């Protein structure tokens, strides 16, 4: 078996070759996350990585994009990751970009010189799961960092020259913290000022800690119109210089695309029209992880 399933990648990496050089997530504690619960984090052995790259070179010799899986390949040692990047650019003549997920703690654990080394070796873009900018929401979901640490992590990635895509999860504050989640997430995203900002919407998977909280009535989910209120409040509060914004994930009730802040009014207008039932929302049962 070439891959160790389950295997995840961001939607924008749909056409990328996925190379699984690590397994699982080194944090693996977020209460809403089901992705790597069946795996224990580890870096694959040099022999496993060698075999995986050799298989990929034979199967996809003209790959131009590679995504390094699983949950946070950036947690591996800088020297080993740099060696892998160099081998990829040497082994895939058409390779243009290599990307991976980046956990905030992994970004903060690397020195600025290490991040620069990886950027120069050809790691081009990072996906940072910010999830929320609210201190209480981040603490409740056990993200493991504060908003200020999240900002520092994002700014360090930007400072080292990485393209950065930040993700926020709509509804993650529930009914109790939705306003704080919206306003503080806008503050954190604005402080990082990434090239890409993606909005997903919370789906609660059976087996997660959050699922149990919902069942016990400790976490009350937002209704679709409330998610839209939250998105409006978030968009009203962001200050971004030139950021590609997307909420076109299958978990979202409404697909939005634009550039922030340039298209803010247009996006707010679409959200208002959706609340007035002039635009149909994705039915609850059609939302997907
Ligand atoms: S959300 Fe990201 S950091 Fe948190 S457990 Fe899941 S993969 Fe790991």
Q: What CATH number does the domain containing 23 carry?
A: 3.20.20.70
E-only strand ranges, 182-265:
196-201, 243-246, 257-260
- The residue whose two tokens read 């930007």 is 158
Ligand 1, CB within 6 Å, residue ranges = 25, 27-30, 33, 35-36, 71, 103, 129
Classify residue 3: in a domain, yes or no.
Answer: no
Classify residue 43: in a domain, yes or no.
Answer: yes
Q: Which residues of the chain have pLDDT under 70?
A: none
By residue range, what is the domain housing residue 82? Answer: 11-286
pLDDT recorded at residue 259: 98
Q: Are 1 and 20 in contact (CB under 8 A)?
A: no
Classify residue 4: in a domain, yes or no.
Answer: no
Atom of ligand 1 nearest to the CA of 129: 2
The rounded distance, in Å, linking the Cα atoms of 64 and 50 is: 19
Classify residue 38: in a domain, yes or no.
Answer: yes
Classify residue 29: in a domain, yes or no.
Answer: yes
Classify residue 108: in a domain, yes or no.
Answer: yes
Global model pTM greater than 0.95: yes
Classify residue 133: in a domain, yes or no.
Answer: yes
Token readout for 264 is: 């803010």
Q: Select from 129, 169, 204 the residue to mutate for testing ligand 1; criterion: most ligand atoms less than 8 Å from CB.
A: 129
Whole-number Å distance, alpha carbon 140 to ligand 1 midpoint, is 14
Beta strand 65-69 pairing with 42-43: unpaired
- The residue whose two tokens read 């995203």 is 189
Classify residue 44: in a domain, yes or no.
Answer: yes
The rounded distance, in Å, linking the Cα atoms of 263 and 235 is: 10
pLDDT recorded at residue 1: 78
- Three-state secondary-structure class, residue 65: strand
> Nearest to residue 169, comparing CAs of 135, 125, 221, 130?
130
pLDDT recorded at residue 289: 82
Sequence-separated (6 or more) residues with CB below 8 Å from residue 59: none
DSSP state of 266: H
The rounded distance, in Å, linking the Cα atoms of 127 and 173 is: 21
Q: How many domains does the chain have?
A: 1
């Amino acid at each position: 078996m070439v891959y160790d399933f389950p295997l995840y990648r961001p939607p924008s990496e749909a056409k990328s070759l996925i190379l699984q050089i690590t397994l699982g997530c080194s944090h693996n504690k977020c209460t809403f996350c089901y992705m790597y619960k069946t795996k224990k984090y580890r870096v694959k052995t040099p022999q496993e990585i060698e075999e995986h790259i050799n298989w990929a070179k034979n199967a996809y010799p003209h790959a131009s994009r590679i995504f390094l899986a699983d949950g946070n390949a950036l947690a591996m040692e800088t020297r080993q990751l740099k060696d892998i990047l160099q081998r990829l650019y040497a082994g895939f003549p058409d390779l243009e970009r290599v990307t991976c997920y980046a956990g905030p703690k992994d970004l903060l654990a690397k020195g600025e010189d290490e991040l620069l080394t990886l950027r120069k070796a050809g790691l081009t873009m990072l996906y940072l799961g910010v999830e929320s900018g609210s201190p209480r929401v981040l603490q409740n979901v056990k993200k493991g960092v504060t908003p200020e640490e999240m900002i520092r992590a994002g700014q360090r990635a930007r400072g080292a020259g990485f393209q950065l895509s930040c993700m926020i999860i709509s509804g993650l504050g529930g009914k109790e913290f939705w306003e704080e989640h919206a306003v503080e997430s806008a503050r954190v995203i604005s402080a990082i000022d990434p090239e890409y900002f993606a909005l997903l919407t919370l789906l609660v998977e059976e087996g997660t800690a959050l699922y149990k909280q919902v069942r016990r009535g400790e976490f009350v989910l937002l209704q679709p119109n409330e998610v839209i209120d939250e998105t409006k409040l978030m968009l009203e509060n962001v200050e971004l210089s030139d950021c590609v914004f997307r909420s076109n994930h299958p978990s979202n009730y409404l697909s939005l695309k634009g550039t922030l802040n340039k298209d803010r009014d247009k996006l707010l207008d679409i959200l208002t029209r959706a609340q007035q039932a002039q635009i149909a929302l994705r039915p609850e049962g059609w939302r997907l992880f």
